[in-house]
């Protein structure tokens, strides 16, 4: 009866205020980690609604709520045909020590930060003047850019998009980490971030958003015999339809069972239709684009059930919609992508405000170490051959690839907005990382979903897996690409080097002894500091050992003078691995990488949102080594040969 009382009180308030929200919450006790509203429905009372309709709505909802209570206290209806169990229990197939001990509190901390930035975004939206639509074609004069960018920001920080209302896009991509993983202990241990259905997790690190909008649609360059473009580590967000790979990228996590885990893309349109910024969405993308869709009676319960639940079988569209409404919902999902792409391209994420940008303009001077690191970056370190800075790579290698091993590039930079990537992919020969939680997810969760039946036998072939439309990737939209799969096995996207060193201001650095913010690097998080990253490129082929991670022989130190075998030995990039850099030169390259952090010329938006702790102690060369787990031990734990 508390539920019915809440409805009546809300309706009484709605009687006196148009456009108010009627929230019916049949709450039940639930684990703190969910931080969700599991029996939550929002009904919008719009202008012009008669009190008769309000009374009918009240009566209907009261009856439905009482029926639900009678069926099962706290139960959650999935469909007219079947009912799902109460909120799913924690999925924890992991041996002790795999999940960080502070995981629950850290997830809660990030959600508080997400909520705070969302509140800020709402205020920024309300500060935008009403639109003036003029011209032919019609354009939002003066406010169009700000409007679509703030819509993307509102979406990015909206946790209600996920089934358990506990996972926003930003939950894995916060600004103080360069829009990558915001939890130091996760970056140090389980690698991938927990899903809305706890504690499912994916298999790779959370890529940085910064400058992702500059990647072109995926294309095979037959002349060079190389792929360029796309988004994601494996380039599966090709941009084939929207022509914006970063926009298409934003359409994967909401329906990925190991991330936000919505069971139907139309659930995103439904949830957007409940949000207060629905008016902004329809202002930009058309009146009725959300509000004219007729949703089935079981829409809330279906969209509150994570993808992968056995009740759905292989059905990827469990919401029963008319063809016209399905088209509207699909268009809305495209507009979701376009709005997020606008936000990612905005000055809030990709602003070109680093010290290096000021240096190119002539407004900053690099320190001696930074300048030396820059020379090494485009010279002896050979970094510039993939992370392009708009200048040549000098000195050039010996013939036949080059003619002047001692040459120097003394010309002026040809590109004053370099993105520090070639937009291609490469297999750098990273070892398999036994810490990756994905290897343990070999049993069904309470919903009947098994994230990784193969366990440790799973091999991440990256771009090659995608071209084959393989497990854990996506369907390949171009059959002519499949023939090249074996030639790109193991290749992962060459990310921008920009903002690789971005951390919360109070943590100062990515590097021990600190204070530092623990990040993770490369697709599988094997590397834990920029010093290790440069040392890996420098010595991978100097200290190779025929072992897997955690099994370096006595007398060696992993990541210092022992590099385990590559996870994918084919197609390894041989332009690095034996660079001959000294320890000082490695440190100088790290110093240069730090000049690529945005926020030097103007403050980086929301970088101060971090409320967690910084780390200290140790050294950058062995940073994170205390968490290394033996691959052999892992296989024993999984009882696999």
User: CB under 8 Å to 620, separation ≥6 — which residues?
Assistant: 511, 512, 529, 530, 531, 532, 590
**231 bridge partner residues:** 237
- For the cut 60, the answer to whether the pLDDT of residue 616 exceeds it is yes
Q: What is the mean pLDDT of residues 49-57?
A: 37
Give DSSP secondary structure letters for 534-565. HHHHHHTTTSB-SS-TT-PPTT--BTTTBBPP
Q: What is the mean pLDDT of residues 576-586?
A: 97
Domain residue ranges in the chain = 2-74, 103-210+239-345
The structure tokens 């819509």 sit at 151
Average pLDDT along the chain: 87
Give the pLDDT of residue 298.
Answer: 98
Query: Rounded to the nearest 10 degrees, how much is the dihedral formed by the CA atoms of 472, 477, 480, 483?
Result: 0
- For the cut 90, the answer to whether the pLDDT of residue 289 exceeds it is yes
Give the pLDDT of residue 398.
Answer: 61
Give the pLDDT of residue 393.
Answer: 78
d(CA 535, CA 621): 8
d(CA 181, CA 67): 42
pLDDT digit string, tens, across residues 89-103: 899 999 888 899 999
The lowest-confidence range among 3-17, 264-278, 365-379, 615-629 is 3-17
Residue 304, helix vs strand vs coil: coil
pLDDT digit string, tens, across residues 307-351: 999 999 999 999 999 999 999 999 999 999 999 999 999 999 999
pLDDT band at 31 (very low <50, low <70, confident <90, very high): very low
Question: What pTM value is reported for the model?
Answer: 0.86
CA atoms within 13 A on the CB side of 502: 35
Quick one: CATH architecture of 103-210+239-345? Orthogonal Bundle (1.10)
- Say what percent of the chain tops pLDDT 70: 84
499 conformational bin, left if phi > 0, alpha if psi -120 to 50, beta if neither: left
pLDDT band at 633 (very low <50, low <70, confident <90, very high): confident
Residue 76, helix vs strand vs coil: strand
- For the cut 80, the answer to whether the pLDDT of residue 64 exceeds it is no
Give the pLDDT of residue 12.
Answer: 35
Give the pLDDT of residue 412.
Answer: 80
Q: What is the mean pLDDT of residues 93-122?
A: 95
Which own/partner pairs from 478-486 qualify as long-range (CB within 8 Å, at least 24 positions apart)?
Answer: 478/238, 478/240, 480/220, 481/220, 481/227, 484/220, 484/227, 486/570
HEC secondary structure over 104-151:
HHHHHHHHHHHHHHHHHHHHHHHCCCCCEEECCCCEEECCHHHHHHHH
Give the pLDDT of residue 87.
Answer: 60
Give the pLDDT of residue 68.
Answer: 38
Q: What is the mean pLDDT of residues 44-52?
A: 34
Q: What is the mean pLDDT of residues 592-604?
A: 98
- For the cut 80, the answer to whether the pLDDT of residue 108 exceeds it is yes
Give the pLDDT of residue 349.
Answer: 98
pLDDT band at 37 (very low <50, low <70, confident <90, very high): very low
Q: Does 212 sit behind a cis peptide bond, omega within 30 degrees of 0 on the bond before it?
A: no
Q: What is the mean pLDDT of residues 294-300?
A: 98
pLDDT digit string, tens, across residues 483-511: 999 999 999 999 999 999 999 999 999 99
pLDDT band at 55 (very low <50, low <70, confident <90, very high): very low
Give the pLDDT of residue 391.
Answer: 85
């Amino acid at each position: 009866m508390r539920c019915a009382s809440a409805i009546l009180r809300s309706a009484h308030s709605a009687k006196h205020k148009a456009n108010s929200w009627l929230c019916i919450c049949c709450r039940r006790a639930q684990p703190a980690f969910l931080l969700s509203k599991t029996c939550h429905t929002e009904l919008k009372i719009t202008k012009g609604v008669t009190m008769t309709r309000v009374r009918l709505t009240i009566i209907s909802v009261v009856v439905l709520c009482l029926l639900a209570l009678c069926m099962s206290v706290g139960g959650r209806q999935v469909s007219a045909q079947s009912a799902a169990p109460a909120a799913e229990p924690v999925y924890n197939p992991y041996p002790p020590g795999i999940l960080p001990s502070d995981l629950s509190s850290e997830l809660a901390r990030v959600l508080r930060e997400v909520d705070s930035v969302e509140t800020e975004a709402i205020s920024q939206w309300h500060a935008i003047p009403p639109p003036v639509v003029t011209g032919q074609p019609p354009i939002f004069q003066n406010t169009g850019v700000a409007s679509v960018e703030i819509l993307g920001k509102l979406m990015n920080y909206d946790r209600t998009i996920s089934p358990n209302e506990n996972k926003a896009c930003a939950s894995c991509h916060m600004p103080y980490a360069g829009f990558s993983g915001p939890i130091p202990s996760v970056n140090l241990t389980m690698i991938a971030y927990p899903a809305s259905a706890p504690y499912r997790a994916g298999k790779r690190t959370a890529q940085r958003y910064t400058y992702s909008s500059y990647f072109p649609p995926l294309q095979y360059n037959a002349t060079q015999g190389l792929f360029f473009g796309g988004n994601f580590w494996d380039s599966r967000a090709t941009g084939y339809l929207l022509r914006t790979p970063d926009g298409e990228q934003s359409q994967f996590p909401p329906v990925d069972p190991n991330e936000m885990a919505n069971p139907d893309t139309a659930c995103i349109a439904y949830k957007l239709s409940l949000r207060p910024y629905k008016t902004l969405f329809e202002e930009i993308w058309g009146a009725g684009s959300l509000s004219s869709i007729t949703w089935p009676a079981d829409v809330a319960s279906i969209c509150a059930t994570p993808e992968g639940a056995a009740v759905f079988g292989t059905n990827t569209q469990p919401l029963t919609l008319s063809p016209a409404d399905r088209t509207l919902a699909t268009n809305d999902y495209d507009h979701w992508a376009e709005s997020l792409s606008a936000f990612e391209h905005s000055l809030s994420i990709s602003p070109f405000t680093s010290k290096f940008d000021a240096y190119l303009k002539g407004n900053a001077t690099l320190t001696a170490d930074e300048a030396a690191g820059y020379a090494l970056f485009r010279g002896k370190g050979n970094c510039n051959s993939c992370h392009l800075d708009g200048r040549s790579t000098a000195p050039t290698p010996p013939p036949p690839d080059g003619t002047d091993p001692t040459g120097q590039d003394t010309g002026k930079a040809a590109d004053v907005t370099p993105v520090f990537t070639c937009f291609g992919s490469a297999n750098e020969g990273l070892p398999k990382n036994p810490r990756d939680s994905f290897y343990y997810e070999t049993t069904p969760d309470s919903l009947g979903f098994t994230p990784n039946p193969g366990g440790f036998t799973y091999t991440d072939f990256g771009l090659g897996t995608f071209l084959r439309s393989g497990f854990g990737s996506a369907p390949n939209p171009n059959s002519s690409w499949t023939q090249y799969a074996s030639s790109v096995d193991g290749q992962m996207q060459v990310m921008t080097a920009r903002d690789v060193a971005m951390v919360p201001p109070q943590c100062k650095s990515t590097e021990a002894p600190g204070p530092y913010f623990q990040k993770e690097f490369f697709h599988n998080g094997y590397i834990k500091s920029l010093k290790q990253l440069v040392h890996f490129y420098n010595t991978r082929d100097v200290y190779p050992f025929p072992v897997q991670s955690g099994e370096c022989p006595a007398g060696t130190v992993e990541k210092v003078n022992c590099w385990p075998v590559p996870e994918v030995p084919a197609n390894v990039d041989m332009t690095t691995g034996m660079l001959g850099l000294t320890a000082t030169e490695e440190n100088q390259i790290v110093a240069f990488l730090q000049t690529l952090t945005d926020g030097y010329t103007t403050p980086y938006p929301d970088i101060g949102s971090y409320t967690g702790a910084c780390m200290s102690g140790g050294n950058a060369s062995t940073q994170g080594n205390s968490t290394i787990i033996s691959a052999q031990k892992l296989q024993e734990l999984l009882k696999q040969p």
